[in-house]
């Protein structure tokens, strides 16, 4: 039943009504701000589910019951160089990676829910850094994944499809990070085709319609003493131009790799080919210098990030601050009934339909 006493034919809609009336007014205002900023309704549902899950865990005295806020979350963290740089300066941070915990697999429903709940613990104007696995979107794997600008989904191989899901869910989380008042950065190899996925094209258009540009900052990881030069791109709506202006030291002045990154060979037909070598996986890890550079960027810009995020939120909710809980819930439900974009690669609707809602 909805609040008017009428039967609700859509089970998800009925769950959403119950969810909203279990929330604090502060959380309802945050959800309303997402609606007013124009986020797809499916992201509003996703955020509401994460809020209720977090609230349930904390009220039951779960492991994260303290509700401690963090200044940085590093997703697909690997060696967690960025998170560790924050931690070394006594700033709380989290490293999120399926290699650290099976519950951190963003392709699985439990891992994806955990990643969104973790995002809610990010301090206002904090930094969420995403280093989404690039195996199925980089040029070394192009002969197998078959991805291109015209055909971004590539083949139907399992790992390629999983890469598309990761890319779509990362796009959704980056948009949610910005809407919640924090900064995001996505790191990919320069040759990555992830930006051509439909979900990322939506994010690009979303920002463009609001006069904001999703910038691609090109740099070399060799500038941070990585063994390989590794041309890289950082995607963000914030100014990271200083990263692109750093010189790349000569090879002998950088860290020494344990093995070659790629190797060339001649196949049976006499065709020259290139493939990844033993050092390719090691080249994915950041150096401590890159982690410190990300920390230094955030320290320089955190006041501006806070001002911008606060202004965006206040502008969105200034006319509804005095509304009742019922009025805020009705506003959210009304917005959800409007046609919205489905993140095709992210499988968000499928996730929400199968998720275990704690109501």
Residue 12: inside a domain: no
Q: Give the tens place of pLDDT for each residue, 96-114.
A: 998 777 788 898 988 999 9
Residue 80 belongs to domain spanning: 31-254+286-354
Residue 276: inside a domain: no
Query: Greater confidence, 8 or 336?
Result: 336
Q: Is the pLDDT of residue 331 over 90?
A: yes
Burial of 22 (0-12, 13-18, 19+ CB in 10 A): middle
% residues pLDDT > 70 (the chain):
88
DSSP state of 330: H
Residue 16: phi and psi, rounded to 5, are -65, -40
* Chain mean pLDDT for the chain: 87
Q: Give the tens place of pLDDT for each residue, 178-196.
A: 999 999 999 999 999 999 9
Q: Residue 185: its pLDDT value, please?
A: 97
The answer to pTM > 0.75 is yes
Q: Residue 65: its pLDDT value, please?
A: 43
**Number of domains present in the structure of the chain:** 1
Residue 4: inside a domain: no
Burial of 250 (0-12, 13-18, 19+ CB in 10 A): exposed
Q: Is the pLDDT of residue 257 over 70?
A: no
Q: Residue 56: its pLDDT value, please?
A: 86
Residues 6+ apart with CB under 8 A from 17: 2, 3, 8, 329, 333
The tokens describing 179, both together, are 């809407």
Residue 279: inside a domain: no
Residue 259: inside a domain: no
> For 206-228, what is the mean pLDDT?
92
Q: Is the pLDDT of residue 160 over 50?
A: yes
CB contact at 8 A, 128 and 119: yes
Tell me which residue of 201, 205, 197, 194 sits closest to 234, measured CA to CA: 194
Residue 193: inside a domain: yes
CB contact at 8 A, 200 and 169: no
Residue labelled with tokens 């971004």? 152
> For 48-67, what is the mean pLDDT?
77
Neighbours of 42 (CB within 10 A): 19
Residue 52: inside a domain: yes
Q: Residue 1: its pLDDT value, please?
A: 46
CB contact at 8 A, 222 and 249: yes
Confidence of residue 254 (pLDDT cuts 50, 70, 90): low
**CA diameter of the chain:** 74
Q: Residue 25: its pLDDT value, please?
A: 94
Alpha helices (H) in the chain, listed in sequence order = 11-20, 25-37, 41-59, 81-88, 109-119, 142-145, 158-179, 198-209, 241-244, 288-317, 325-336, 348-354
Residue 61: inside a domain: yes
C-alpha–C-alpha distance, residues 93 and 123, integer Å: 10
Give bridge partners of residue 95 from the DSSP assignment.
74
Q: Residue 259: its pLDDT value, please?
A: 52
> For 78-93, what is the mean pLDDT?
95
Q: Residue 9: its pLDDT value, please?
A: 57
> For 48-68, what is the mean pLDDT?
77
């Amino acid at each position: 039943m909805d609040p008017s006493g009428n039967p609700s034919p859509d089970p998800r809609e009925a769950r959403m009504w119950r969810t909203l009336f279990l929330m604090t007014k502060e959380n309802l205002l945050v959800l309303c701000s997402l609606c007013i900023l124009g986020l797809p309704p499916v992201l509003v549902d996703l955020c509401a589910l994460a809020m209720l899950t977090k609230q349930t865990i904390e009220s039951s005295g779960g492991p994260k019951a303290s509700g401690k806020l963090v200044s940085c979350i590093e997703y697909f963290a690997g060696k967690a160089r960025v998170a560790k740089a924050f931690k070394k300066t006594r700033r709380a941070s989290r490293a999120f990676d399926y290699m650290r915990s099976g519950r951190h697999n963003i392709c699985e429903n439990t891992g994806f829910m955990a990643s969104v709940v973790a995002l809610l613990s990010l301090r206002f104007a904090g930094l969420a850094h995403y280093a989404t696995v690039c195996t199925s979107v980089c040029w070394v794997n192009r002969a197998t994944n078959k991805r291109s600008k015209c055909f971004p989904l590539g083949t139907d191989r399992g790992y390629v499809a999983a890469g598309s899901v990761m890319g779509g869910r990362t796009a959704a989380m980056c948009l949610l990070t910005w809407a919640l008042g924090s900064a995001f950065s996505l790191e990919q190899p320069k040759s990555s085709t992830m930006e051509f996925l439909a979900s990322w094209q939506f994010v690009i258009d979303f920002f463009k319609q609001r006069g904001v540009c999703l910038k691609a900052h090109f740099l070399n990881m060799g500038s941070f003493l990585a063994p390989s030069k590794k041309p890289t791109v950082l995607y963000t709506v914030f100014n990271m131009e200083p990263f692109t202006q750093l010189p790349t030291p000569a090879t002998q002045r950088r860290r020494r790799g344990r093995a070659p990154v790629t190797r060339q060979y001649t196949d049976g037909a006499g065709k020259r080919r290139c493939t990844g070598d033993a050092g390719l996986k090691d080249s994915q890890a950041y150096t401590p210098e890159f982690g410190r550079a990300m920390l230094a960027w955030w320290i320089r810009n955190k006041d501006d990030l806070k001002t911008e995020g606060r202004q965006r939120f206040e502008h969105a909710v200034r006319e509804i601050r005095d509304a009742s809980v019922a009025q805020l819930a009705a506003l959210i439900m009304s917005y959800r009934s409007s046609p919205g974009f489905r993140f095709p690669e992210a499988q968000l609707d499928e996730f929400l339909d199968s998720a275990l809602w704690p109501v």
